[in-house]
A and B are shown apart, each in its own frame.
With several copies, the nearest count.
Chain A
Amino acid sequence: MATITYREAVVRALAEEMDRDSDVIFFGEDVGKAGGVFKVTPGLYERFGPARVRDTPISENAIVGAGVGAAVTGLRPVIELMFADFAAVTLDQIVNQAAKMRYMSGGQIKVPLTIRAAQGGGAGFASQHSQCCETWFMHAPGLKVVVPSNPADVLGLLKSAIRDDNPVVFLEHKVQYTEKGEVPDHTEHVVPLGVANIVRRGDAVTIVATQRMIGVAQQAADELSGEGITCEIIDPRTLVPLDMATIIRSVQKTGHLVTVEEAVHAGGWGSEVATRVTDEAIWSLEGPVVRVTLGAGIIPFSEPLEHHLIPHKARVIAAVKRTLAV
């Protein structure tokens, strides 16, 4: 086991898969010579050369489209959109083309494309560089959506994403790039898409959280355990496919569900988890399902405002207490 950062896990997964399969190529804005604006992909250009690692113009439609076309014709491209917010300039290529081409073609085509992007707030990047954008992609069947929360999952899930024959949107949380964690030393650490991780065991309430919100949930759980309330924390790891079985089993045990997400309330993944539970397991619920989200918020620049808006420990504790009615 080595300890590496979330950031290092990205480049390791890329390098391992590019080593393993010469059809894997990688391109995006300043990802090559400069190693990425978040310094996530250094060394790949030097190692795999200018044909397989390319810097692009600022042309997100052309980038995603090139990924789609290359994937359809036999490569296995990984592309980077830098900030996930920029997916909005090329959403058509992602949700209308990449996601639907297999279906529209009656299964003639497959699109083994991985789209990486950095999302998430907390770093003072203001409203257009801080969003969590899972909803855009979850709402488009045909895509898979991956939201890794730690270095081992980044490594194992990105490798799975690259090997997957579907278009996969792989969302990295930019504030987590410096977080460290242990990863196996061998080159076959593959985490399957669609299997949730039970991060913490508990009986009183099920908390479903992703990425940076896992840490927030942990803080809340630590404090609540002092009051004798034990929380079960589940990290779905991938939002499509979504491992509802694990979540429902947990809710059947705890009787209470809180979701913690760093996205806007309406349409967020929390509502999907919550409604699936209320549909499939309502009789297990012993209290309201409470979502902790950005509400109808836009991410502000100002530090105290940003920290106030993004779910934090106190809000998670309040949510847990509300569902438990304590």
Chain B
Amino acid sequence: MSEPLSAAMRQQMLQRMIEIREIEGRIQELFLENVIRGTTHLCDGQEAVSVGMAAVVDAAHGDTVTCTYRGHGHALALGLTMRSMVAEMMGKVSGCCKGKGGSMHLTDMPNGLIGTFAVVGAGLPVTNGAALTAQTKGTGALALGIFGDGTPNIGAWHEAVNLAAVWKLPSIFLCENNLYGEYSPYADTAPVENVADRACAYGIPGVIVDGQDAEAVYAAVKTAADRARAGDGPTLIEAKTYRYRGHSRTDPAAYRPEGELDAWLQRDPINILAARMIADGQITQAAVDGLKAQAATDAQAAIDWALAQPHPPLDAVHEDIWV
């Protein structure tokens, strides 16, 4: 980790992580109660990646992000409101995508989120396109694509990283290595120890970072961003992290070895940052608890609001297909 961030930035990261943790828990409940249907892919445990990344992204200047279906945390970190997101997951017209996308397909252009892609690898070629716009127009913007540890096995991932390297695009490829792709441990489906080890095939930097440390993630993404904006091309970043829950829906994650979850809970990203801030005299435990209580209140308010929203009118089903 390079130099510590300002107290204000830390505070914002901490608060956002707490909010993400809170809403994900509520979403799981709503899913089990059948209020949210379909499927969900929650990110508890991975919040540091979301806020570390988002602290670098400057949507106002054209930076964009694509990520995966495990995208609630990223969307919130970038600035999507809980209300808009929860309403989307309930299929309500007030959702960010008018209820047409759902949990797996969040788009929030004002905050730079092009989409949370549900086909593995599919977002990364699109990220390059956003980077191409930046390069062609000389805007200095960057495009960041987030993916999981199972994703480097798919062709689209390879083609995207490769093209970005050949064209020196201002792309950043950020892996959330949470040890599993669905129910398969990383090592069962990948031939190299680290995702970052693959960077050698593209002649680009491959960086490993502690995904539980928001500031470390920030620093790694910031370095990659400077490189991208300077025209030096893409970076592959691997954040080592962990998802506390199963892959999706009701997966009990029985494939995880005994004790693994507990060990990771010891390195909880919220606790890590909170402890550091307490040690630095920037926050008190009471204030942290206050943030949690506030997040719970906010989440409940968002849910109540979303529940009260209407579904889209039936005719809407045929709108928004062609311009």
A–B contact with Cβ pairs below 8 Å: the answer is yes
Residue ranges of A at the interface with B (Cβ–Cβ < 8 Å): 25, 29-30, 33-34, 37, 51-52, 54-75, 77, 85-86, 88-89, 92-93, 96-97, 101-110, 123-129, 141-142, 144, 164-166, 295-298, 300-305, 308-309
Q: Is B284 located at the chain interface by the 8 A CB criterion?
A: no
Contacts of B321 in A (CB 8 A): 102-103, 141-142, 296-298
Among B37, B97, B137, B160, point to the contact of A303 (Cβ < 8 A): B37
Residue among A66, A108, A165 with the highest chain B CB neighbour number at 10 A: A66
Contacts of A164 in B (CB 8 A): 323
Q: Is B320 located at the chain interface by the 8 A CB criterion?
A: yes
CA distance A96 to B127 in the complex (A): 16
Q: Is B107 located at the chain interface by the 8 A CB criterion?
A: yes
Contacts of B280 in A (CB 8 A): none
Asked if A305 and B189 make an inter-chain contact with CB atoms under 8 angstroms apart, the answer reads no
Q: Is B131 located at the chain interface by the 8 A CB criterion?
A: yes
CA distance A296 to B318 in the complex (A): 8
Asked if B188 and A55 make an inter-chain contact with CB atoms under 8 angstroms apart, the answer reads yes
* Contact A34 B118, CB 8 Å, known A59-B153, A108-B107, A125-B39: no
Among A58, A59, A77, A104, point to the contact of B101 (Cβ < 8 A): A104
CA distance A102 to B125 in the complex (A): 17
CA distance A315 to B320 in the complex (A): 23
Given contacts A61-B160, A65-B126, 20 further A-B contacts (CB under 8 A): A25-B136, A57-B190, A68-B126, A68-B129, A69-B130, A69-B132, A89-B121, A93-B125, A97-B122, A103-B320, A104-B115, A106-B98, A106-B99, A109-B115, A128-B105, A165-B323, A301-B88, A301-B97, A304-B91, A308-B314
Asked if B119 and A89 make an inter-chain contact with CB atoms under 8 angstroms apart, the answer reads yes
CA distance A186 to B189 in the complex (A): 38
Tell me the smallest distance from the CB of B71 to a CB of chain A, in Å.
Answer: 13
Contacts of B189 in A (CB 8 A): 55-58
Residue among A33, A73, A297, A305 with the highest chain B CB neighbour number at 10 A: A73
Could you show 17 A-B contacts with beta carbons less than 8 Å apart?
A34-B255, A61-B125, A61-B160, A62-B162, A63-B125, A70-B129, A72-B126, A105-B109, A105-B320, A106-B107, A106-B320, A108-B109, A128-B118, A166-B323, A301-B99, A302-B100, A303-B311
Of the candidate stretches B179-187, B217-225, B257-265, B269-277, the one touching chain A is: B179-187
CA distance A75 to B141 in the complex (A): 14
Residue among A33, A69, A70, A125 with the highest chain B CB neighbour number at 10 A: A69
Contacts of A51 in B (CB 8 A): 135-136
Tell me the smallest distance from the CB of B154 to a CB of chain A, in Å.
Answer: 5
Tell me the smallest distance from the CB of B255 to a CB of chain A, in Å.
Answer: 7
Among B104, B133, B312, point to the contact of A129 (Cβ < 8 A): B104
Tell me the smallest distance from the CB of A27 to a CB of chain B, in Å.
Answer: 9
CA distance A262 to B311 in the complex (A): 23
* Contact A305 B37, CB 8 Å, known A57-B190, A61-B159, A104-B100: no
Q: Is B114 located at the chain interface by the 8 A CB criterion?
A: yes
**B93 nearest in chain A by CB position:** A302
Asked if B125 and A69 make an inter-chain contact with CB atoms under 8 angstroms apart, the answer reads yes
* Contact A73 B118, CB 8 Å, known A65-B125, A125-B39, A302-B312: no
Residue ranges of B at the interface with A (Cβ–Cβ < 8 Å): 37-39, 62, 64, 66, 88, 91-92, 95-105, 107-109, 114-115, 117-122, 124-137, 143, 150-151, 153-156, 159-160, 162-163, 166-167, 181-184, 188-190, 255, 311-312, 314, 316-323
**B116 nearest in chain A by CB position:** A104
Asked if A109 and B109 make an inter-chain contact with CB atoms under 8 angstroms apart, the answer reads yes
Asked if B105 and A69 make an inter-chain contact with CB atoms under 8 angstroms apart, the answer reads no
Tell me the smallest distance from the CB of B122 to a CB of chain A, in Å.
Answer: 6
Tell me the smallest distance from the CB of B307 to a CB of chain A, in Å.
Answer: 14
Contacts of B159 in A (CB 8 A): 57, 59-62, 65
Asked if B317 and A300 make an inter-chain contact with CB atoms under 8 angstroms apart, the answer reads yes
CA distance A74 to B314 in the complex (A): 31
CA distance A77 to B125 in the complex (A): 14
CA distance A152 to B13 in the complex (A): 55
CA distance A295 to B119 in the complex (A): 24
Among A88, A109, A309, point to the contact of B317 (Cβ < 8 A): A309
Asked if A61 and B118 make an inter-chain contact with CB atoms under 8 angstroms apart, the answer reads no
Among B122, B132, B167, point to the contact of A92 (Cβ < 8 A): B122
Asked if B153 and A105 make an inter-chain contact with CB atoms under 8 angstroms apart, the answer reads no
Among A55, A60, A68, A72, point to the contact of B184 (Cβ < 8 A): A55
Tell me the smallest distance from the CB of A272 to a CB of chain B, in Å.
Answer: 17
Asked if B133 and A107 make an inter-chain contact with CB atoms under 8 angstroms apart, the answer reads no
